[in-house]
């Protein structure tokens, strides 16, 4: 694996499978009474959040804490950032505090890339969502949840031949960009579905199919991922009304019935019930929303473990404290 | 400056032609020929070097008044002299905006005081670049600065009625409106060229049509009212087609291209390095090739730098927070040699046309862009075309360092510049 995780494009198929396998091993810890490993003891992980986020931040926080890392939450609101401090000075501050990894969420596309390549910090950079660019750990957790549902979470397995349909605001979605890259890397066939206004100009270079017709794609989907559609997009004339959007691109029970029986419904959350997804679908057993949340902690543990655990204090941990599988996957990295 | 100052430039390739001697006496060219002796003259051995008329830039941001942290008239004109320029047009988007006779006169006087190159202020079209009310164009024209070129550069005059009125109004004194063609609604929050790369990078797209639709409208307006319109920093293949069409109709349309749009593409934005953030944005390879072809065939009249200095902190940040613009005065000729001369698209006499004669004509600048001939003003630039070196922004005379060419090896080096017979640059060093 590379030194940073900024884009899903940073991951080869083997990197991605290794992360999923490691997450699978680490998830067993979550089933224990004491959900904690000493792997990252003495390491410092900073959650640097320039944009409001509850789910992703607490997911990373839980992941780092379960690996015994020291966690510092740095939220842009109420910090020196709101007083005009630059990303550079913030980064230099974190570097001086000895951050081993910086998990960054930023409203500007490319800010994590900039942090990783500018020389401002020496630690690992993990992109927790940047603007409308990427959100690679979301794609990893989606792949993890998908592999569990469609391939029983088999170690070493990828998603070859699985057909995944991503529906919604593709233009503004970092989840879509990361998923198109990662799922394709894992062998899946991806189709994005949206009104033409919400598909980026230049999408033809993406490794996926594009459709404007949800009903035509549903019967051939092993998974349908519904993206959150912000209501304010309506004001910028991306679509006429919420009702029309829901009618043409929302997933309701009737549409879900046209999916193959084994097919699942995914959503990165938070859901707009009644907009892109109806309550009937959201609450059905085919919907993986809650599994995705728990997968998020497992996958982020795996990412932090693989980025930070390979050398240093992680190697000195007492025998037996690491799950056997994780030990084995660490050996596989050589 | 002494009236008796004489310089003999010996053996220079005049406009890229055979070795020629040029004798400068005082402010003018005295003799052009071979075997000139020039009693008592300072001799510049120029064998192998190319002698051009002093370069003229239609589009320079000198930042003074208001942003002296990035450039001043003095540092900007020193950069201009280093780059071989003898005249620059100072854009109006200063603080305060150059929208009154007082501000343009101030800039003009600062230019005179600097002595490194002539500074011709550009006046704002509208008050405060606001796009709503015409600035006192006549007063700026009648001022000591004698403004002929008006532009809200940085902002587009997007209101069709205001643009029409401005075009009509400046006819009274042979003025020209230089339009920054950018439809504002189509470029809200825009960060880079809209296309394959923006789709991947998740940066808000800046569509070519936002530029082209304004150019289409403006050439039609100019035709309708019989006025001169000049298109600033044209950047797309589609814009080239529109200008070509307008010229074929005989309409009074001129256009400029920047050196960076002749060389760089939006692929560079993949680095998210804001040194590549510029307005208009870097476009695609196809656009670059169309721009080169259009400059070669004369559809695009001239090269203009859009020299846009910014302090380090405005570029040493994330893409979205960064300022738009690149410095260009000190690399313009090298980039033009690299993209146009070394590729066989232009010869040196055509470079003189595109970088000196035509911009001087558009800006109605007497004394610049003239032939190198006896009796003409001695505004001259001497270039060593065989020199190759990596660009080192730290060595720039400009106060700012935001060059996209850092480390890139480019051909050509301006060794000497004369402004009305006085050396402003001698053997690579400012005088």
In a domain, B178, yes or no: yes
| pLDDT confidence bin for A82, thresholds 50/70/90 | low
The answer to whether A86 contacts B207, with C-beta atoms less than 8 Å apart, is: no
- Reply yes or no on whether the pLDDT at A275 is more than 70: yes
- Reply yes or no on whether the pLDDT at A195 is more than 70: yes
* Tokens found for residue B76: 């900007």
Same-domain pairing of B324 and B188:
yes
- Least CB-CB distance to A200: which of B199, B273, B317? B199
Helix (H) or strand (E) holding A91: helix A87-96
Could you read off the pLDDT of B120-179 as tens digits, one per residue? Answer: 999 999 999 999 999 999 999 999 999 999 999 999 999 999 999 999 999 999 999 999
In this predicted structure, what is the pLDDT of residue A323? 41
- Mean pLDDT (whole number) for B341-354: 98
Closest by CA to B214, choosing from B176, B252, B160, B259, is: B160
Residue with tokens 């060595």: B395
Taking a C-beta distance cutoff of 8 angstroms, is the pair B16, B365 a contact? no
| pLDDT confidence bin for A28, thresholds 50/70/90 | confident
- Mean pLDDT (whole number) for B249-253: 98
B231 CA: distance to closest CA in chain A (Å):
26
Same-domain pairing of B111 and B176:
yes
- Reply yes or no on whether the pLDDT at A328 is more than 70: no
In this predicted structure, what is the pLDDT of residue A311? 45
Helix (H) or strand (E) holding A144: helix A136-151
Could you read off the pLDDT of A165-185 as tens digits, one per residue? Answer: 999 999 999 999 999 999 999
Same-domain pairing of B33 and B180:
no
| pLDDT confidence bin for A310, thresholds 50/70/90 | low
The answer to whether B313 contacts A86, with C-beta atoms less than 8 Å apart, is: yes
- Reply yes or no on whether the pLDDT at B4 is more than 70: no
In a domain, B393, yes or no: no
- Mean pLDDT (whole number) for B176-189: 98
Q: Is the peptide bond before B280 cis (omega within 30 degrees of 0)?
A: yes
Q: Are strands B85-90 and B55-60 parallel, antiparallel or unpaired?
A: parallel
Does residue A74 sit in helix, strand or coil? strand
Name the residue in chain B with its Cα closest to that of A119.
B316
In a domain, B38, yes or no: yes
Same-domain pairing of B206 and B115:
yes
Average pLDDT over chain B, rounded to whole? 97
Which of the residues A85, A86, A109 would you substitute to probe the B interface, choosing the one with the greatest number of B C-beta atoms within 10 Å?
Answer: A109
Instruction: Name every chain B residue with its beta carbon within 8 A of the beta carbon of A105.
Output: none
The residue that leads in pLDDT, A232 or A33, is A33
In this predicted structure, what is the pLDDT of residue A239? 94
Q: Does B115 touch chain A (CB under 8 A)?
A: no
Does residue A204 sit in helix, strand or coil? helix
**Number of independent structural domains in chain B:** 2
CB-side neighbour CA atoms (13 Å) of B117: 36
A26-40, A239-253, B198-212, B325-339: which range is least confident on average?
Answer: A26-40
* Tokens found for residue A270: 């938070």
**CATH architecture, range A136-291:** 3-Layer(aba) Sandwich (3.40)
In a domain, B371, yes or no: no
In this predicted structure, what is the pLDDT of residue A86? 84
Same-domain pairing of B216 and B333:
yes
* Fold exhibited by the domain A8-135+296-319: Rossmann fold (3.40.50)
B276 CA: distance to closest CA in chain A (Å):
13
> Which residues span the domain enclosing B235?
54-362
Closest by CA to B201, choosing from B73, B320, B80, B373, is: B320
Query: CATH code at B424?
Result: 2.30.40.10
Which of the residues A114, A173, A175, A194 would you substitute to probe the B interface, choosing the one with the greatest number of B C-beta atoms within 10 Å?
Answer: A114
Same-domain pairing of B42 and B80:
no
Same-domain pairing of B170 and B268:
yes
In this predicted structure, what is the pLDDT of residue A305? 96
Could you read off the pLDDT of B402-422 as tens digits, one per residue? Answer: 999 999 999 999 999 999 999
- Mean pLDDT (whole number) for A212-220: 98
- Reply yes or no on whether the pLDDT at A37 is more than 50: yes
In this predicted structure, what is the pLDDT of residue B309? 98
In a domain, B357, yes or no: yes
Q: Which of residues 154-183 of A touch B (CB under 8 A)?
A: 174, 177
Helix (H) or strand (E) holding A44: strand A44-49
Q: Does A117 touch chain B (CB under 8 A)?
A: yes
Q: Which residues contact A319 (CB under 8 A, 6 or more apart)?
A: none
In this predicted structure, what is the pLDDT of residue A333? 35
Distance of CA A208 to the CA centre of its chain: 19
In a domain, B144, yes or no: yes
Same-domain pairing of B329 and B411:
no
- Mean pLDDT (whole number) for B296-316: 97
Q: Which residues contact A245 (CB under 8 A, 6 or more apart)?
A: A195, A229, A234, A239, A275, A276
In this predicted structure, what is the pLDDT of residue A79? 62
Q: Which residues contact B31 (CB under 8 A, 6 or more apart)?
A: B21, B22, B23, B38, B374
| pLDDT confidence bin for A278, thresholds 50/70/90 | very high
Complex ipTM value: 0.90
A33-42, A274-283, B360-369: which range is least confident on average?
Answer: A33-42
- Reply yes or no on whether the pLDDT at A327 is more than 80: no
In this predicted structure, what is the pLDDT of residue A326? 41
Could you read off the pLDDT of B271-292 as tens digits, one per residue? Answer: 999 999 999 999 999 999 999 9
Same-domain pairing of B412 and B349:
no
Same-domain pairing of B329 and B426:
no
Residue A228 annotated as binding? yes
Taking a C-beta distance cutoff of 8 angstroms, is the pair B278, B248 a contact? no
Query: CATH code at B331?
Result: 3.20.20.140
B64 CA: distance to closest CA in chain A (Å):
25
Could you read off the pLDDT of B7-36 as tens digits, one per residue? Answer: 999 999 999 999 999 999 999 999 999 999
Same-domain pairing of B414 and B328:
no
Q: Does A57 touch chain B (CB under 8 A)?
A: no
- Label residue A161 left, alpha or beta by phi (over 0 means left) and psi (-120 to 50 means alpha): left
Same-domain pairing of B348 and B383:
no
Q: Which residues of B are catalytic?
A: 306
Q: Compute the distance between CA of residue A126 and CA of residue B219 in angstroms, rounded to an integer.
A: 50
Taking a C-beta distance cutoff of 8 angstroms, is the pair B395, B413 a contact? no
Q: Which of residues 79-98 of A touch B (CB under 8 A)?
A: 86-88
- CATH 3.40.50.1370 placement within chain A: 8-135+296-319, 136-291
Q: What is the dihedral sign for C-alpha B187, B191, B196, B201?
A: negative
Closest by CA to B189, choosing from B206, B210, B202, B201, is: B206
Could you read off the pLDDT of A84-138 as tens digits, one per residue? Answer: 678 899 999 999 989 999 999 999 999 999 999 999 999 999 999 999 999 999 9
Domain stop point among B362, B397, B415: B362
B313 CA: distance to closest CA in chain A (Å):
9
- Mean pLDDT (whole number) for B329-348: 98
- Reply yes or no on whether the pLDDT at B326 is more than 90: yes
- Reply yes or no on whether the pLDDT at A332 is more than 50: no
- Reply yes or no on whether the pLDDT at B295 is more than 80: yes
In this predicted structure, what is the pLDDT of residue B94? 97
């Amino acid at each position: 694996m590379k030194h940073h995780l900024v884009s899903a494009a940073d991951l080869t198929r083997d990197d991605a499978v290794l992360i999923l396998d490691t997450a699978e091993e680490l998830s067993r810890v979550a089933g224990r009474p004491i959900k904690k490993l000493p792997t990252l003891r003495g390491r410092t992980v900073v959650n640097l959040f320039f944009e409001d986020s509850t789910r992703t931040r607490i997911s990373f926080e839980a992941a780092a804490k379960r690996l015994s890392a020291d966690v510092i939450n740095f939220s842009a609101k109420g910090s020196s950032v709101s007083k005009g401090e630059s990303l550079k000075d913030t980064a230099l501050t974190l570097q001086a505090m000895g951050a081993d990894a910086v998990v960054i969420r930023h409203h500007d596309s490319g800010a994590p890339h900039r942090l990783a390549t500018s020389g401002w910090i020496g630690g690992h950079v993990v992109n927790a969502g940047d603007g409308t660019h990427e959100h690679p750990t979301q794609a990893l957790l989606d792949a993890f949840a998908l592999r569990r549902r469609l391939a029983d979470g088999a170690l070493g397995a990828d998603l070859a031949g699985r057909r995944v349909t991503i529906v919604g605001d593709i233009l503004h979605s970092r989840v879509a960009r990361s998923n198109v890259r990662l799922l394709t890397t894992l062998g899946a066939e991806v189709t994005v579905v949206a009104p033409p206004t919400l598909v980026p100009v230049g999408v033809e270079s993406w490794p996926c199919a594009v459709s404007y017709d949800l009903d035509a794609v549903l019967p051939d989907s092993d998974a349908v991922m519904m993206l959150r559609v912000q209501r304010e997009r309506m004001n910028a004339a991306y679509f006429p009304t919420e009702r029309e959007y829901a009618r043409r691109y929302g997933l309701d029970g009737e549409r879900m019935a046209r999916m193959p029986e084994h097919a699942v419904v995914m959503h990165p959350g938070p859901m707009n019930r009644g907009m892109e997804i109806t309550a009937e679908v959201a609450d059905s057993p085919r919907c993986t929303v809650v599994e995705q949340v728990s997968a998020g902690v497992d996958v982020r543990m795996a990412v932090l473990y693989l980025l930070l655990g390979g050398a240093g204090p992680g190697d000195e941990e007492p025998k037996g404290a690491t799950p056997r599988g994780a030990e084995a996957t660490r050996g596989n990295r050589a | 400056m002494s009236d008796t100052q004489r310089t003999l430039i010996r053996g220079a390739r005049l406009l890229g032609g055979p070795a020629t001697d040029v004798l400068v006496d005082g402010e003018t060219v005295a003799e052009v020929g071979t075997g000139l002796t020039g009693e008592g003259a300072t001799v510049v051995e120029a064998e192998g070097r190319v002698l051009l008329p002093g370069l003229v830039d239609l589009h320079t941001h000198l930042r003074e008044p208001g942003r002296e942290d990035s450039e001043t008239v003095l540092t900007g004109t020193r950069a201009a002299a280093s780059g071989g320029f003898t005249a620059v047009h100072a854009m109006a988007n200063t603080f305060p905006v150059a929208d009154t006779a007082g501000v343009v006169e101030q800039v003009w006087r600062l230019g005179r005081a600097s002595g490194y190159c002539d500074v011709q202020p550009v006046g704002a079209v509208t008050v405060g670049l606001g796009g709503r009310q015409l600035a006192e164009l006549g007063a700026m024209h009648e001022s000591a600065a004698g403004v002929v070129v008006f532009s809200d550069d940085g902002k587009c005059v997007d209101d069709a009625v205001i643009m029409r009125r401005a075009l009509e109004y400046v006819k009274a004194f042979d003025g020209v409106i230089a339009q920054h063609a950018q439809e504002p609604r189509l470029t809200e929050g825009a960060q880079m060229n809209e296309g394959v790369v923006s789709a991947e990078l998740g940066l808000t797209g800046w569509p070519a049509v936002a530029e082209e639709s304004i150019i289409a409208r403006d050439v039609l307006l100019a035709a309708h009212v019989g006025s001169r319109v000049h298109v600033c920093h044209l950047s797309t293949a589609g814009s080239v087609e529109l200008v070509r069409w307008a010229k074929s109709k005989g309409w009074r349309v001129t256009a400029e291209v920047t050196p960076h749009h002749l060389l760089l593409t939006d692929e560079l934005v993949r680095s998210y390095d804001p040194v590549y953030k510029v307005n208009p944005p870097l476009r695609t390879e196809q656009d670059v090739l169309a721009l080169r072809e259009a400059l070669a065939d004369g559809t695009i009249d001239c090269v203009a730098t859009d020299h846009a200095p910014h302090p380090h902190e405005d570029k040493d940040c994330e893409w979205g927070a960064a300022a738009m613009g690149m410095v260009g005065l000190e690399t313009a000729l090298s980039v033009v040699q690299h993209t146009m001369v070394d590729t066989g698209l232009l010869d040196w006499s055509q470079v003189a046309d595109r970088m000196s004669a035509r911009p001087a004509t558009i800006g109605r600048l007497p004394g610049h862009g003239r032939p190198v001939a006896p009796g003409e003003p001695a505004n001259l630039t001497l270039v060593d075309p065989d020199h190759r070196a990596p660009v080192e922004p730290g060595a720039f005379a400009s106060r700012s360092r935001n060059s996209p060419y850092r480390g890139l090896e480019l051909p050509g080096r301006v060794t000497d510049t004369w402004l009305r017979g006085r050396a402003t640059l001698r053997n690579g060093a400012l005088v």
